[in-house]
């Protein structure tokens, strides 16, 4: 009998090892069950009791119905009163207002960071409620989960880290990424935002702490575009940091080594891209806050083979284009006059050159999309960097900026030269638009703004687009007080409108990337487009520009209110879907094939309805518990007793 007992123990041990084995099909059956809640179908879960309360994806807190409490073994683990989601939100908001001050770590801790902490705690315990709160209060909380507060979060992320969210691929993981990607529990991922932390907003190299920007962006994908939160993945690629302060900080969570460069760096990014597209062939990857040195190179390397885009280069460009087209309308001119605009650009990094390239393509498209139109459009831009006006005399000029270097002789006729200051360029060019993407706070000084008074436009536009707030080239108060009331102002970070007196309001338009990137991602997903083309990006920008009514735009409003972000995203996504179909890039999505999608796109109302019906909303699904069933593995066993023991063991496990 003791021999039989030992055989039984051996079989039990074997069963446990098989359950842990990577080749065991049980791993698949016990994986977290993912289902689309767009159709409000019941969701199957493989956990009960405290496990379900500790899972933010499925936890409803006090909103669990009594039948669910019985079904999921929750009776007695929650207070008896079943609350509606509206009551839960009301209770949370009361707590939020009370805790905003108490959650601060002292007088130096900004109130916005305290709000972020409280919201993050909600995110950790109940995702559905978190997104309900975020969507219902998007104007107030978008600046908390995204810019400008997210910059502060990234700077302090090592100290704020509490619960892991997303994935970390590092230089130490080379050769392992293909297997690592299967550690993520979701069998379906629609959207990845990835950063290497090298250029977070205008704050520089923050290393592994840059994961905060990926998390914040995906919060907006969920809130604005209705991407299912169970299908998003924030990613940090840690290749080291050149931030000496972080390298010397013993509490820093990332690799404490200098950044990889050259072929070694490329090899890490290549391996990551291969891994994620192997597991999730239809995923969309958004590159975020990569330093200029790599932003363009990586974009060109992957964009023709993968569904990816770079938001700093293409998203910022699209929002700026929408704003520039809106500015033409606000000046009382038709959008077709855009190719006549004289634009001075302060900043020649990835964002600045990305905007100039996109604006040039837009002008060329309006002029007939010929090679001559594309060539002549570049003459509308004067690009100024830290060393002044860029001309063809510049030594070691960045290849990406080279097409916009002014001819020396032509510049001389305008009273300008290589390296002319921003003040000199504004004074001599007398531009219609002064566009700031420099990352240098206060760059639009009193002298620069005074020079803009000489603009040939009766209503010049000032775009202070750098983030976060402290890096804005100027404030709206400075712009309106120095240049005058009759201007158009836009910024990258949120500012309050300016009271000009006599009932007049100086509108502070926020040219936020969140107007576009959620719609670009959603439209690409729903079209099933193989790539994200320039035409799709252009269609997104043009739809955003047309969203503002004529009355609004004549008052100086060139961007819509953030409160309308779900509707804006729906419109932008619809434009992207239609463009993908027109370019024959669409392959369909789920049970909608390319031919059906083509029919849908023939009717504007139908494509808008298709997009809206595909957007996830934060509603609690009905949860149904299903016991995980083990797949039986059959072995040829020589001993009848061992075979019997193995069967007993399996039954015990089930």
Residues noted as catalytic: 146, 217
* Neighbouring C-alpha atoms within 13 Å toward the C-beta of 624: 8
Q: How many C-beta atoms surround the C-beta of residue 417 within 10 A?
A: 15
Residue keyed to tokens 């190179």: 297
CA neighbor of 583 nearest in space, from 541, 633, 527: 527
DSSP 3-state assignment of 650? helix
CB-CB contact of 224 with 566 (8 Å): yes
Those residues with Cβ within 8 angstroms of residue 58's Cβ, 6 or more apart along the chain or in another chain: 43, 45, 47, 52, 623
CA angle 319, 323, 325 (to 5 degrees): 115
Strand intervals (E) in 231-338: 232-238, 284-287, 308-310
Residue-by-residue DSSP string for 27-48: HHHTSPP---TTTT--EEES--
Which residue ranges are tagged as binding site for a divalent metal cation? 288-289, 312
Residue keyed to tokens 């370019």: 583
Which residue ranges are tagged as binding site? 199, 288-289, 312, 467, 512
Q: What is the largest CA-CA distance in the chain?
A: 105
CA neighbor of 208 nearest in space, from 192, 197, 193: 197
Alpha-carbon gap, residue 145 to 220, rounded angstroms:
8
CB-CB contact of 190 with 232 (8 Å): yes
Alpha-carbon gap, residue 377 to 620, rounded angstroms:
52
CA neighbor of 138 nearest in space, from 222, 37, 233, 36: 222
CB-CB contact of 31 with 40 (8 Å): no
| Pairing relationship of beta strands 284-287 and 191-195 according to DSSP bridges | parallel
CB-CB contact of 57 with 77 (8 Å): no
Q: Which two tokens stand for residue 512?
A: 């936020």
DSSP 3-state assignment of 531? coil
Which helix or strand (DSSP H or E) is residue 463 part of? Answer: strand 461-464
Q: How many C-beta atoms surround the C-beta of residue 374 within 10 A?
A: 17
Alpha-carbon gap, residue 496 to 475, rounded angstroms:
10
Residue keyed to tokens 């107030």: 140
CA neighbor of 476 nearest in space, from 497, 459, 449: 497
Q: For residue 422, give Cα distances in angstroms to 417, 418, 426.
A: 12, 12, 6
Q: Which two tokens stand for residue 575?
A: 């434009």
Alpha-carbon gap, residue 169 to 157, rounded angstroms:
17
H-type alpha helices, 73-225: 85-102, 111-125, 127-136, 138-145, 149-155, 157-160, 177-180, 211-225
Which helix or strand (DSSP H or E) is residue 646 part of? Answer: helix 640-653
């Amino acid at each position: 009998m003791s021999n039989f007992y030992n055989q039984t123990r051996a079989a039990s041990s074997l069963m446990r090892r098989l359950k842990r084995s990577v080749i065991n099909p049980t791993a698949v059956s016990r994986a977290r069950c993912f289902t689309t809640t767009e159709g409000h179908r019941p969701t199957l879960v493989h956990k009960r009791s405290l496990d379900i309360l500790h899972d933010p994806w499925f936890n409803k807190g006090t909103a669990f119905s009594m039948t669910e409490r019985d079904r999921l073994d929750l009776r007695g683990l929650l207070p008896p009163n079943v609350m509606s989601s509206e009551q839960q939100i009301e209770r949370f908001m009361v707590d939020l207002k009370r805790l905003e001050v108490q959650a601060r770590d002292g007088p130096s801790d900004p109130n916005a960071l305290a709000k972020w902490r409280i919201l993050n705690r909600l995110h950790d315990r109940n995702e559905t409620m978190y997104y309900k709160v975020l969507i219902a209060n998007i104007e107030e909380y978008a600046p908390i989960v995204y810019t400008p507060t997210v910059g502060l979060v990234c700077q302090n992320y090592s100290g704020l880290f509490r619960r892991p969210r997303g994935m970390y691929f590092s230089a130490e993981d080379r050769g392992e990424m293909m297997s690592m990607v299967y550690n993520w529990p979701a069998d379906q991922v629609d959207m990845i935002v990835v950063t290497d932390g090298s250029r977070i907003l205008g704050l520089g190299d923050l290393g592994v702490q840059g994961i905060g920007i990926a998390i914040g962006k995906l919060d907006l994908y969920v809130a604005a575009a209705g991407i299912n939160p169970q299908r998003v993945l924030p990613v940090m690629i840690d290749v080291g940091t050149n931030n000496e302060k972080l390298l010397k900080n013993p509490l820093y969570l990332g690799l404490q080594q200098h950044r990889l460069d050259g072929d070694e760096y490329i090899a890490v990014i290549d391996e990551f891209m291969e891994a994620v597209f192997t597991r999730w062939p239809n995923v969309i990857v958004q590159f975020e806050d990569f330093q200029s040195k790599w932003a363009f190179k990586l974009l060109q390397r992957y964009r023709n083979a993968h569904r990816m885009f770079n938001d700093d280069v293409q998203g910022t460009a699209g929002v700026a284009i929408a704003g520039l087209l809106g500015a033409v309308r606000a000046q009382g001119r038709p959008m077709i006059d855009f190719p006549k605009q004289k634009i001075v650009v302060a900043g020649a990094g990835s964002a600045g050159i990305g905007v100039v390239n996109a604006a040039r393509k837009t002008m060329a498209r309006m002029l007939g999309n010929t090679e001559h139109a594309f060539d002549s459009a570049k003459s509308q831009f004067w690009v100024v960097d830290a060393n002044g006006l860029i001309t063809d005399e510049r030594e070691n000029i960045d290849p990406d900026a080279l097409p916009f270097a002014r001819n020396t002789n032509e510049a001389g006729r305008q009273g300008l030269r290589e390296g002319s200051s921003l003040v000199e360029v504004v004074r001599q060019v007398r531009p219609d638009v002064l566009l700031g993407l420099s990352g240098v706070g206060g760059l639009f000084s009193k002298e620069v703004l005074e020079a803009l008074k000489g603009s040939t436009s009766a209503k010049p536009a000032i775009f202070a687009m750098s983030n976060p707030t402290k890096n804005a080239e100027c404030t709206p108060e400075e712009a309106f007080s120095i240049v005058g009331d009759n201007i158009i102002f836009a910024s990258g970070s949120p500012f309050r409108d300016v009271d000009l007196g006599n009932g007049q309001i100086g509108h502070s338009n926020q040219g936020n990337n969140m107007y576009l990137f959620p719609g670009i991602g959603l439209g690409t997903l729903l079209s099933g487009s193989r790539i994200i083309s320039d035409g799709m990006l252009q269609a997104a920008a043009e739809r955003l520009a047309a969203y503002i009514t004529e009355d609004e735009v004549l008052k100086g409003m060139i961007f819509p209110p953030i409160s309308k972000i779900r509707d804006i995203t729906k419109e932008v996504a619809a434009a992207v879907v239609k463009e993908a179909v027109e370019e024959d890039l669409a392959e369909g999505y789920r049970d909608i094939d390319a031919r059906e999608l083509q029919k849908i796109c023939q009717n504007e109302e139908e494509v808008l309805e298709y997009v809206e019906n595909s957007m996830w909303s934060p509603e609690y699904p009905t949860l149904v518990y299903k016991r995980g069933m083990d797949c039986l593995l059959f072995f040829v066993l020589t001993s009848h007793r061992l075979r019997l023991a193995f069967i007993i063991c399996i039954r015990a496990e089930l």
